[in-house]
Amino acid sequence: GQIEKGGYDHFMLKEIFEQPECLTNCMRGRINVEANHVTLSALIDYRLQLLKAKRIVIVACGTSWHAGLIGKQLIESFCRIPCEVEYASEFRYRNPVVTSDDVVIAISQSGETADTLAAIQLAKEKGAFIYGICNAIGSSIPRATDTGTYIHVGPEIGVASTKAFTGQVTVLTMFALALADAKGTINRDEYLKVVKELNRVPEIIKEVLKSNEKVRDLARTFTYAHNFLYLGRGYSYPVALEGALKLKEISYIHAEGYPAAEMKHGPIALIDSDMPVVVIATHNAMYEKVLSNIQEIKARQGRVIALVSKGDNTISRIADEVIELPDVLECLEPLVATIPLQLLAYHVAVCKGKNVDQPRNLAKSVTVE
């Protein structure tokens, strides 16, 4: 009951607010602040197996798959190893090319997802080395892997995954940094800068959580909608997918995440004055391009909810609603930009009177096909 929810109305809200503490736990003993250094025991114990990877294949389902998409960008950019992200359910049934030169990363909150477990078994038979990123300690997936890293965010009760997602992304960031450091593929200054800022992420998320009331108020305005579009580029594209999934799962509003530049190849046809479009439009390399996407949406009377960098007054003048985010390195932005999207989905679902913690037709862990 109420006590387990720590005074929050729902587990989901509690779990959203727990994220600063959860990510601190996730990084504890792994990031040495004085030395500005990341160590994962998997990378010490299985250094050779992980260092010799010619390719990395990430397998996962649902929200964990979205974390995998962010992991791919981190791994490719820091470690310069080609990385693919597969839905476990597709991977296991298409006779994939996997060899002993591959490292397969399996991501799963519950550690019990049947498709992910089967994908691991298949990859193992083909000789790949298997590294797991899980939350539930001692569950089936960690037992089936060669090594792994627990995200240590504590039990997640809400069916819609929140803190497990940011925990997975945090572990993937530490993994990419530690592997890149071992391989010598990351520039020293860059490494130190990212480690230092990763360590500050819990504080940054605390700051972002202060926008809860603002997000709650704006959520009321959008409960009428039957469709939502979420746009982002680069590291923010998987965040758009995850934001859309959260809304679908608990408010039953149809939502699609799209890479912003792909809007012109289809979704733009849907935009009219009834269509809310959530755009991740913070200051980064793609800012000008995303700004022009927002102009295109407004020219078609779409309603823009923009996530912007603090102090942005260009987009605030065009967008219908803005949520400000503190500045953070681009590669760490998913950890920050996800927070208001979790809150948005939560408040829209509450306004619609939906069962936030136990949405219809969904299960916390899918142990059958």
* Contact residues: ligand G6P, CB under 6 A: 61-64, 108-110, 113, 116, 159, 161, 362-366
Whose CA is closest to 142, among 172, 175, 115, 105? 105
Q: Which is nearer to ligand G6P, 246 or 347 (CB)?
A: 246
Task: Name the token pair of 4.
Answer: 């387990």
Rg (CA), the chain: 20
Q: Which is nearer to ligand G6P, 225 or 366 (CB)?
A: 366
Question: What dihedral angle (degrees, nearest 10) is formed by the CA atoms of 188, 189, 193, 194?
Answer: -40
CA distance 21 to 113: 26
Q: Which is nearer to ligand G6P, 67 or 81 (CB)?
A: 67
CB of 369 to ligand G6P, least distance (A): 12
CB of 237 to ligand G6P, least distance (A): 18
Q: Are 128 and 98 in contact (CB under 8 A)?
A: yes
CA triplet 305, 264, 333: central angle to 5 degrees?
45
Q: Are 291 and 317 in contact (CB under 8 A)?
A: no
CB of 291 to ligand G6P, least distance (A): 32
CB of 141 to ligand G6P, least distance (A): 7
Residue 130 bridge partners (DSSP): 104
N- to C-terminal Cα separation, the chain: 31
Give catalytic status of residue 364 as yes or no: yes
Q: Which is nearer to ligand G6P, 77 or 116 (CB)?
A: 116
CB of 297 to ligand G6P, least distance (A): 29
- Pairing outcome for strands 31-32 and 37-38: antiparallel
Q: Which is nearer to ligand G6P, 62 or 267 (CB)?
A: 62
Q: What is the helix, strand, coil percentage profile of the chain, to 5?
A: 50, 15, 35
Catalytic residue among 193, 352, 354, 364: 364
Active site members: 364
